[in-house]
Structure 1
Amino acid sequence: MSTPVPSTSSRRMPVQALHGQTMGTTWSVQFHPETRIDLHALHDAVQACLDRVVAQMSTWEAASDISRYNRSGAGEWFPLADEFHHVLAAALEVAAASDGAYDPTVSPLVAAWGFGAHAATRAVPGQAALQAARARVGWQRVCLDADIRRLRQPGDVALDLSAIAKGYGVDVVANLLRRRGIAAALVEVGGELYGYGTKPDGQPWRVLVESSPEEEADSRELEPRVLLLDGIAVATSGDRWHGFEQDGRRYSHTIDPRTGEPVAHAAAAVTVVASDAMHADAWATALTVMGAEQGHAFALRQGLAARFLVRNTTGLRETVTPAFQRHLAA
Structure 2
Amino acid sequence: MRQVIIPQQLADLPRELPSGNIVALSGQTMGTTWSVRYINLPGLPKVAVASAIETALDQVVQQMSTWLQGSVINQFNHAEPGTVLPVPWEFSAVLSKALAVASQTDGCFDPTVGTLVDLWGFGPQQGRELPPAPESVEAALLDSGWKKLQFDPVRSELKQSGRLTLDFSGIAKGFGVDQVAAALRQSGLQHYLVEVGGEFYGYGVKPDGQPWWVALERTPDAAMLDEYIVAAHGLGLATSGDYRRYFEHEGRHYAHTINPATGWPVAEAPVSVSVLASSCMEADAFATALTVMGLERGLAFARTHELAALFTVHAQDELVQRASPRLQEMLQ
Same fold (TM over 0.5): yes
CA distance in 2, matches of 1:152, 1:278: 24
Q: How does 1:175-254 map to 2 (within 5 A)?
A: 175-212=182-219, 214-217=220-223, 219=224, 222-254=225-257
How many Å apart are 1:115 and its aligned residue? 1.2
Judge which range, 191-200 or 291-300, deviates more.
291-300
Change (3 A) 1:234 1:169: same
Normalised to the residue count of structure 1, the TM-score between the two structures is 0.92
Q: How does 1:55-74 map to 2 (within 5 A)?
A: 55-74=62-81
- For residues 207-249 of structure 1, what are the alpha-carbon distances to aligned partners after superposition, in whole Å with 9 as ceiling and x for unaligned? 111221x3212x3xx2211111110110000101111111121
TM-score when scaled to structure 2? 0.92
Q: Paired residue for 1:110, among 112, 117, 123?
A: 117
| Alpha-carbon distance, 1:327 to partner | 3.8
Shift of 1:35: 2.2
| Structure 1 residue 195 displacement after superposition | 0.3
Partner AA of 1:160 in structure 2: D
What's 2:327 paired with? 324
Aligned to 1:19: 26
Note if 1:123 corresponds to 2:130. yes
* TM-aligned CA deviation for residue 313 of structure 1: 3.5
Deviation at 1:315, TM superposition (A): 2.4
**Paired AA for residue 245 in structure 1:** E
- Identity among equivalent pairs (%): 46
| Aligned residue in 1 for 2:265 | 262
Give 1:121 shift: 3.0
> Against the structure 1 CA distance between its residues 13 and 34, is the aligned structure 2 distance closer, same or farther, given a 3 Å change threshold?
closer
Q: Are the structure 2 counterparts of residues 12 and 312 from structure 1 closer, same or farther at C-alpha, using a change threshold of 3 Å? A: farther
2:205 & 2:167 partners in 1: Cα distance? 35
Equivalent-residue separation in structure 1 for 2:127 and 2:260 (angstroms): 17
The one-letter amino acid paired with 2:179 is: V
Counterpart code for 1:134: L
Paired position in structure 1 for 2:13: none
Report how far residue 189 of structure 1 moved: 0.4
- Paired residue secondary structure (1:215): coil
Q: Which residue of 2 aligns with 1:147?
A: 154
Deviation of 1:201 (Å) = 1.2
Letter aligned with residue 271 of structure 1: S
Whether the 8 Å CA contact 2:20–2:40 is kept in 1: the answer is no
Give the count of matched residue pairs.
315
- Cα drift, residue 127 of structure 1: 2.3
Deviation at 1:314, TM superposition (A): 4.2
Which letter does structure 2 place at the counterpart of 1:192?
Answer: E
Range 132-141 or range 195-204, more displaced: 195-204
Q: Which residue of 1 aligns with 2:180?
A: 173
Secondary structure of the structure 2 residue equivalent to 1:163: coil
Partner of 2:14: none
Question: Counterpart of 1:235 in structure 2: which amino acid?
Answer: A
Q: CA deviation at 1:179?
A: 1.2
Deviation by residue 1:45-94 (Cα, 9 ceiling, x = unmatched): 11011000000000000110100110001111000101000000000000
State the shift of 1:31 in Å: 0.5
Deviates more, 1:122-131 or 1:26-35: 122-131
Rounded Cα–Cα distance in structure 2 between residues aligned with 1:243 and 1:273: 25
SS at match of 1:294: helix
* Secondary structure, counterpart of 2:222 in structure 1: helix
Contact 1:100 1:257 in 2 (8 A): yes
The letter for the 1-side match of 2:222 is E
1:33–1:183 Cα contact (<8 Å) kept: no
Q: Tell me the equivalent position of 2:10.
A: none
- On the 8 A contact 1:195/1:233 being kept in 2, the answer is yes
Q: Is the 8 A contact 2:171 2:284 kept in 1?
A: yes
SS for the counterpart of 1:262 is coil
1:267 to partner: Cα distance: 0.6
- What SS does the aligned partner of 1:216 have? coil
Which residue number in structure 1 is paired with residue 91 of structure 2?
84
Letter in 2 for 1:315: E
SS in 1 for 2:176: helix
Local SS of the residue matching 1:289? helix
- Displacement after TM superposition at 1:119 (Å): 4.2
Q: Secondary structure at the match of 2:226?
A: coil
Moved more, 244-253 or 180-189: 244-253
Distance 1:318 1:238 in 2: 14
Q: Tell me which amino acid in the other structure corresponds to 1:215.
A: D
- How far did 1:13 drift? 6.2
Q: What RMSD, in angstroms, separates the aligned Cα atoms of the two structures?
A: 1.5
Decide which moves more: 270-279 or 32-41. 32-41
Matched, 1:309 2:316: no
Q: Which residue of 2 aligns with 1:95?
A: 102
